[in-house]
Every structure is written in structure tokens, then in C-alpha cells.
A and B are shown apart, each in its own frame.
Chain A
Amino acid sequence: MTPSHELVSTAHHHVAAAHVWGWEIAIYLFLGGFTAGLLVLSGAARWRTGDAPRGAPGFALASSGLPAVGLAALSLGMLALLLDLAHKPYVWRLYLTVQPRSPMSWGAWILILVYPVLLAGVALDPPAALRARIPALARLVRWADDARVRPGLGAISIAAGVALGIYTGILLSSLGARPLWSSGLLGPLFLVSGLSTGAAFAHLCSPVAAERARLLRLDNLLIAVELGLIALYLIGLGSASAAHASAARLLLGGPYTAVFWVGVVLLGLMLPLAIQTLTTARRIAHTPIAPVLVLLGGLVLRFVLVFAGQASQWSPL
């Protein structure tokens, strides 16, 4: 197209097309990533405890009900996703086909894998009263706690979580028409952000001090990695084509700059990292403020990327 100073289009839907995806997608991507984090954490705990008896120190995380929280979060996310669909009665068409080039198709099938893993996580960790009442359930839990079975179950949970976490980022980065999303780094970024929000939630709720301390250190590491990934992502966009550089400017001086740098980087990552570093150094007591900020930061990250991404384009229209 001729470089222009003014471009007028008669297509009314272009005005509406700027933001096709709304809050539903941002909420879903956040809750999907959060669930991925919970799956990886509870899976890793199950894996690492080896043959430690139920109730032993270090087992708290493996039996802390994270899969139940994940089940609720993912179901809420799926509800948001369903609300976003414009042709809802046809949603079952997702499951009549496998489209290898469509990350959304992988996602539909990954969710089919993730749900049973979450349900198993809930079923394998029933309240003691229920275990005493139902002998079959007690036998199932004994089987799952067996040292030969436990790491395998943990590994399945980790794999399901990683697949879920990465796909939520790849979903956006595969849509090349929006230059802000044209980065493979969105996959690891969303995965690490999901892990970090999961770890934040776990240490927010964990009743065991030693475990809280371990999760705090893990979350600090994840936040640092996330900051690094954000820097690489912006450097990558800024040094690519004019369209990508102009997309990066949405976050570097453009309309999404304040919410990104204040909401995500400062309040969502750097401030909680500072607070949690002071906590691990035993300078201040454990506070719920930091993990709540991490969770909110993860949510704002999805909102900023979903909305700013749709505002980025190849054409001047």
C-alpha cells in the first residue's frame, strides 16, 4: 500500500474489529496459567516426597488441596471461555477433529487431559473421615501413595501443567497478524507467570512454615526469570521489523505503557520480589500482600497482552 498520511475505510466492522477478544480471554489465560502452576507444584511435591509417609514433613504441599483449587479455577476459566464464544451451541465441534496447526485445537485436547489429572488429584487426597468411611477410597490412596506409583503420578501432573501453561502463550503467539504477539517467548513467559502465581497462592495458603519458606524462594526465582523473559521479549520485538517495533511501542511510550510498567512490572513483580526477598532474609514477617500482588500482576499481564496485542497491526488501518 502507498505510504499515506490519511487512510479512510468504508468498512464499519473495522472499528469493532480492534478488540474482538475481551475480558473473557484475559481471565481464561490467567486462570489457565494459574491452574498450570498448581498442577506443576502439586505434581512436583508428589514426585519429590518419594516414599515419605503421608503426614511427614514436606508432604503438606502434596496433600494441600491445590488440585481442588485448580479444578475450581480452570472451570471458572472455561466458563469465561464459553461466554466468549459467539456460536455457543456448536462448541462440541472442537472435539470432532484434531487440527495440528491450531494451538486452540491443541488447547481443547489438553484440557481433556488436564481435567482427569485435576480430578485424580482431588480424588487421591480425600479428607480422612471420607477415607475411613470408604475402604475402596482408602485402598486407592494407599496405592497412589506407594513409592513406586507416587513419582509417576507426580510426573503426569507436571507434564499436564507444563502443556497447559505453555499453550496459553503459544495461542497468542501463533496469531502472526498481531505483531505484539509474534514472539515464541510468550509460551515460556505465560508458563513462568503461571508457575509464579501458583507458587504465590501456595505460600499464601500453606500452614507449614518450612514449606512457606521454600515456596517463597521458588517464587522469587520465578519472578526474576519472568522479569528476564519480559526484557528479552521487548528486546526481540524492538529489534524486529517496523511493525513489531511499533507494536512494542504500545508498551514503551504508547497507551498501554502505564498499566504495563506500573501494574505488571512494578506492582506485580518488582515490589512483591522486594517484599519476599526481605521475608526470606528474615527482615520482615511473612505477609499476604506480596503473593496477592503477584496474583494480581499475573492477571494484569494477561489483560495488557490480550488488549494491546489486538491494538497492534501490520496495516495502518
Chain B
Amino acid sequence: MTRLGMVIDTRRCVGCQDCVVACKTENRTPVGYHRDWITYATAGRFPTLTLTIQSERCNHCDDPPCVSCCPTGASHVHRWGGVVLIDHDACIGCKACVVSCPYDARYIHPDGYADKCTFCIHRVERGQEPACVAVCPTRCMHFGDLDDPESEVSRLLASRRHHANLPEAGTGPRIFYLE
């Protein structure tokens, strides 16, 4: 089975927001809404501070609560790669999925339906990388099949310390951050 996921190197990421702009350009998200974003987390006490920058988006979870709570089946897991997608014509805009996501990855599009990152499935199916990965100037983002032990993402995860966001929420996130 193909399980698409992302591995992002926080040691390389400089928080330039190219991924955010690339997503906006590629997916034409409305003004004020983003499918991906950057978090800057400062930890410690001055002067011993550490800054962690992360490029975040939908985690395309293994057990996505947004899919199980959807009353119409509009939120679904794509037949290939386990990507979590939304059928806009089946979405009634009830917002249960927005509330169910521990990552706040979803928003209600001004046209009424729920919207979020698709891993640029339209590009991936053509053999291209997601727009955010393709434009990253520091090459800190990697995309591929987590179930294939030979893939670049699997090898990075096998060789480097890493974490996922909020694993305690129990949804099985598939975006990993190299430390």
C-alpha cells in the first residue's frame, strides 16, 4: 500500500514562506486562507533560546477524524496514497471536520465547502511533487511513500531523530519533522 507522507528538515528550514506562497499560487486559495503555514516556536529562557521553524499543513492522518465525523462522506481517503480529500459537491458546510481536526488544518472556503491541503494530488498523479516541496529553496521538504522502505522519506526517518505534531491526539499524523 502506498502511504504518502512528508518529511521536513527543521535544521534546514529558514521560514521563508516560499511553500506558503507556492501553495497559494498553485491552489488559488482565497484571501486570508492558507492550506499551509509556518510556525515559529521559541523555547527556553533568554539568553539560552532555541527557535524551531516548521512548515505545517494537513497531516493526512492514518485515522483521520475529519473523515469519520463527516456526515455525507464528502471527506474521504483517496483510493491511492491514503491522501485525505474533500468532495466539494458533497460537502454541506456543517464544519464538524473543521472542529474535529486537532491541527486546525481546515477552513470553510467562502464558497461554503470545507477546504484544506490535498498534498497537490493533481500534481502528484502527474508524477510531480507537491508545489510546496517543489519550490523549497533550502530543499528541506521531502515527499514520498512512507510504506516503501527504500523511499527517500523512509530512509530519512530511519536515519534521523524526528517528531510528528501532537501524536497524543491519536490520529496518526504523516508529516514528520527532522530534529
Contact = CB atoms under 8 A, between A and B. Distances in A.
Interface in B151-179: 163, 165-166, 168-170
B42 A177 contact: no
Contacts, number: 160
Interface in B68-106: 68-74, 89-96, 98-104
Interface in B86-139: 89-96, 98-104, 107-108, 111-113
Interface string A95-106: 011010111110
A11 B104 CA distance: 10
Nearest to B34: A11
A78 to B, nearest CB: 13
Interface string B28-61: 0000111001111111110000101010100000
A2 B32 contact: no
Contacts of A107: 71
B146 interface: no
Contacts of B43: 2-5
Contact of A12 (B32, B94, B108, B165): B32
A171 B152 CA distance: 41
A20 B165 contact: no
A176 B97 CA distance: 11
A209 interface: no
A96 B91 CA distance: 12
A87 interface: yes
Contact of A315 (B107, B113, B166): B166
Contacts of B8: none
Given A16-B107, A177-B100, A314-B169, A8 B95 contact: no
Given A86-B108, A177-B102, A6 B42 contact: yes
B144 interface: no
Interface residues of A, number: 49
Contact of A84 (B90, B94, B101): B94
B41 A2 contact: yes
Nearest to B70: A102
B97 to A, nearest CB: 9
Nearest to B73: A97
B127 to A, nearest CB: 29
B100 A93 contact: no
Contacts of B163: 1
A310 interface: yes
Interface string B1-44: 00000000000000001001000000000001110011111111
Nearest to A14: B104
A130 interface: no
Contacts of B34: 10-13
Contacts of B113: 86-87
Nearest to A313: B102
A243 B170 CA distance: 13
Interface of A: 1-14, 16-17, 20-21, 84-88, 90-91, 93-94, 96-97, 99, 101-105, 107-108, 174-178, 241, 243, 310, 313-315, 317
22 contacts: A1-B165, A10-B37, A14-B37, A20-B99, A21-B95, A21-B99, A84-B94, A85-B92, A87-B111, A88-B112, A91-B92, A99-B72, A99-B73, A102-B70, A102-B71, A104-B71, A105-B72, A175-B65, A178-B99, A241-B168, A313-B104, A314-B166
Given A13-B32, A176-B170, 18 more contacts: A1-B52, A1-B165, A9-B37, A11-B56, A11-B104, A12-B32, A84-B94, A86-B94, A90-B92, A93-B72, A93-B92, A94-B72, A102-B68, A103-B69, A104-B96, A175-B99, A243-B168, A315-B103
